[in-house]
Structure 1
Amino acid sequence: MPDSSGPVPGHGQPLDSQRALDFADVPHVLERADFELYRDDVPGALSLLEQAYVATGELRYAARAAQIRSWLQHLSRPQDYAAVYERFYEERKGRFSLKRLERDLRVLLGRKTRKTVQRIAADPEFRLLDQEVIKHHPARVLDAGCGEGRVAITLGCRHPEIQLTGVDVSRTNIRLARNVNRFPNVSFHGGLIEEFVERTQPASFDLVYSFAVLEHVPDDTELVRRIFRVLRPGGRFCFVVPMNELTAVGPVPEFRPPDGALGHVRCFSESGLRAQFGHHRDFLLVKLPGQWRPNCYPPTIVPIEFGSFFVALTKHRSQEPPRE
């Protein structure tokens, strides 16, 4: 198959119905690959297309796979990854508008901070993280992929005894987080998580959390390994990833990412998370149902389970996650 050497994120699940597919039925196979893309299973879509191409030599399979790989090019180089996300957030949050002017006024008056803390504190994902902090009493906490800093600011407000560091790849997000922050125990730093942890002394943090990050990064296993480097032995790692189990009830339209780059590059399942992380001490997995977003999907795709997984685990005293 032409040029199969591009970045391919992990965690593609075998397609149970793949054996029943007739690879000679090109429109149906392409539609099935599009369905996998809608559910974020990029490796599954590429695997299906590659098998179909090998079986038939049909160039439409090769062309579609090449197109999908073009949407993953930002994963090849850190600077490209950073540029894609900075452009995304700058276009949506950084440009001047009346809405931004109103937001900046609320920030100056402190209203934005108070409202953020009030709203995030009621979020089910945050409540689970807050329970981890209350239970384990960390002194030093890292938010790996802090976005606009809402979770970090809320956690810092509720726990003034902890020192909390937030890191995000987007300069726009870091600027917004710093503007909203009113708490001296919370600080924000720009840059890639991988680069930040490499500059940080090992075992610097008692707890690390990462919300809505692992589905985006080039290599989630490698990122977790690096996070474990700065987590002290016996420290706690918490993360949230999407729970995105869908089904098709009619024809699936062709998938195209709105910005020309795939944001979510892998999907997660309960069984997969248990297989990958369940061996860690005090492993916890909680399924959190979420609000279905019909505007983000064609009407022929409906949810089976939609929301997020909250996962927490303890770093073994003498163990780091193995390389894969």
Structure 2
Amino acid sequence: MESVLQRAELELWRDNIDGALDLLARAHTLAPDHRYAARAEEIRSWLRHLESRGAYAAAYEEYYRRSKGRLDLKRLERDVRILLGRKTRKTVRRVVEYPEYQLLEREIIERRPARVLDAGCGEGRIALCLGHRCPSIRVTAVEVSATNVGIARRLNRFRNVAFQHGLVEDVVGAMAPGSFDLGYSFAVLEHVPDVETTVGALLRTLRPGGRFCFAVAMNELMATGAVPAFQPVAGVAGHVRVFTEVGLRERFGRLPGFSLRKLPGRWRPGRYPATIAPLEYGAFFIAVSAP
């Protein structure tokens, strides 16, 4: 039994919630034990924010308001740097070094889109960098958290970048098909309630042949010892799924112009227990064309 629980905990650290629940369900069917059922019930409680769009939006606003909206010395210092433009300049300098951004900019240079959508922009780092480095494009950036949108708007120094508050699916759903030439979404699909719904909405908002680029975490991990129990912040699972190369190719490989790149990342030991080590860690960058 302990080995099953340990395997389930490793899957949770990988963000593979469905995998952990499947392990526990199969083990409970073969050898019923209250510990399997109790852990599965606890895991499912972390997913309640996926039950409705309102709950999803509220959970993320609460998280970002708690982590970024508190009035303290750190926020005051941040606000001063924003007012002086220092934070925007630093953001652009940092983002241009991201391998995901470099691949995105390469797509933009090759395809010369005029209208670009950022789906799930956070504080707007990628959009701001594009606004600075690609002045001929118009970026519309959408974000579910009002706290993040407020920060992004104060950071914005570029007339060709605009930020909208709302769920991506709702905002783009209200737009005419073909409203954009290129869309991108970085570190978002790990969070959304349903990948097909989100990606489908984004592809519909692109013109035929328009490009959609996205990046998701690459989390192949191994246990080197006893794995402690995983517990998400505030009892809400942020990443609700894990992506693998095989799964990405199966899910998106039939779309026109499919490409996949693995981007090795810097291992962050403090984020994981000492008994977990990386096999492949970083991000996948995927690009497809709208049919």
Q: TM-score range by the shorter chain?
A: over 0.9
**Following the alignment from structure 1 to structure 2, what is the Cα–Cα distance between the partners of residues 57 and 101?**
54
**Following the alignment from structure 1 to structure 2, what is the Cα–Cα distance between the partners of residues 93 and 210?**
22
Letter matched to residue 225 of structure 1? G
238-247 or 194-203, which moves further after superposition?
Answer: 194-203
* Secondary structure in 2 matching 1:113: helix
Letter matched to residue 82 of structure 1? A
Letter matched to residue 231 of structure 2? R
Q: Does 1:103 align with 2:59?
A: no
Which deviations, in whole Å up to 9, do the C-alpha atoms of 1:52-78 show, x marking residues without a partner? 111122222111111100000000011
* Secondary structure in 2 matching 1:259: helix
* Secondary structure in 1 matching 2:233: coil
Residue matched to 1:307: 282
Letter matched to residue 276 of structure 2? I
**Following the alignment from structure 2 to structure 1, what is the Cα–Cα distance between the partners of residues 231 and 89?**
38
Aligned with residue 243 of structure 2, among 261, 265, 268: 268
Q: Does 1:144 align with 2:119?
A: yes
**Following the alignment from structure 2 to structure 1, what is the Cα–Cα distance between the partners of residues 274 and 18?**
24
Aligned with residue 56 of structure 1, among 21, 24, 31: 31
The Cα shift of 1:140 comes to: 0.5
Where structure 1 has 5 or more consecutive residues not aligned to the other structure, the ranges are: 1-25, 317-324
Which deviations, in whole Å up to 9, do the C-alpha atoms of 1:131-182 show, x marking residues without a partner? 0000111110000000000100100111111111000000000000000000
The Cα shift of 1:211 comes to: 0.2
Q: Does 1:39 align with 2:14?
A: yes
How do 1:30-179 residues align onto structure 2 when only pairs under 5 Å count? 30-179=5-154
Which deviations, in whole Å up to 9, do the C-alpha atoms of 1:175-231 show, x marking residues without a partner? 000000000110001111111111111110100000000000111111101111111
**Following the alignment from structure 1 to structure 2, what is the Cα–Cα distance between the partners of residues 212 and 273?**
14
% same residue: 57
Aligned with residue 230 of structure 1, among 200, 205, 212: 205
Residue matched to 1:248: 223
Letter matched to residue 116 of structure 1? T
Aligned with residue 193 of structure 2, among 204, 218, 221: 218
Aligned with residue 253 of structure 2, among 278, 301, 305: 278
**Following the alignment from structure 2 to structure 1, what is the Cα–Cα distance between the partners of residues 117 and 175?**
11
**Following the alignment from structure 2 to structure 1, what is the Cα–Cα distance between the partners of residues 19 and 213?**
26
Runs of 4+ off more than 6 Å: none
**Following the alignment from structure 2 to structure 1, what is the Cα–Cα distance between the partners of residues 282 and 20?**
22
Q: Does 1:298 align with 2:273?
A: yes
Which deviations, in whole Å up to 9, do the C-alpha atoms of 1:106-139 show, x marking residues without a partner? 1111111111111111111100000000011111
The Cα shift of 1:83 comes to: 1.1
TM-score (norm 2): 0.98
**Following the alignment from structure 1 to structure 2, what is the Cα–Cα distance between the partners of residues 296 and 219?**
26
**Following the alignment from structure 1 to structure 2, what is the Cα–Cα distance between the partners of residues 123 and 182?**
21
Aligned residues: 291
Which deviations, in whole Å up to 9, do the C-alpha atoms of 1:2-23 show, x marking residues without a partner? xxxxxxxxxxxxxxxxxxxxxx
Letter matched to residue 43 of structure 2? I
**Following the alignment from structure 1 to structure 2, what is the Cα–Cα distance between the partners of residues 158 and 258?**
36
Letter matched to residue 66 of structure 2? E
Residue matched to 1:10: none
* Secondary structure in 2 matching 1:183: coil
Residue matched to 1:320: none
Residue matched to 1:6: none
Which deviations, in whole Å up to 9, do the C-alpha atoms of 1:244-281 show, x marking residues without a partner? 00000111111111220110111111111111111122
Residue matched to 1:22: none
**Following the alignment from structure 1 to structure 2, what is the Cα–Cα distance between the partners of residues 157 and 98?**
29
TM-score (norm 1): 0.88
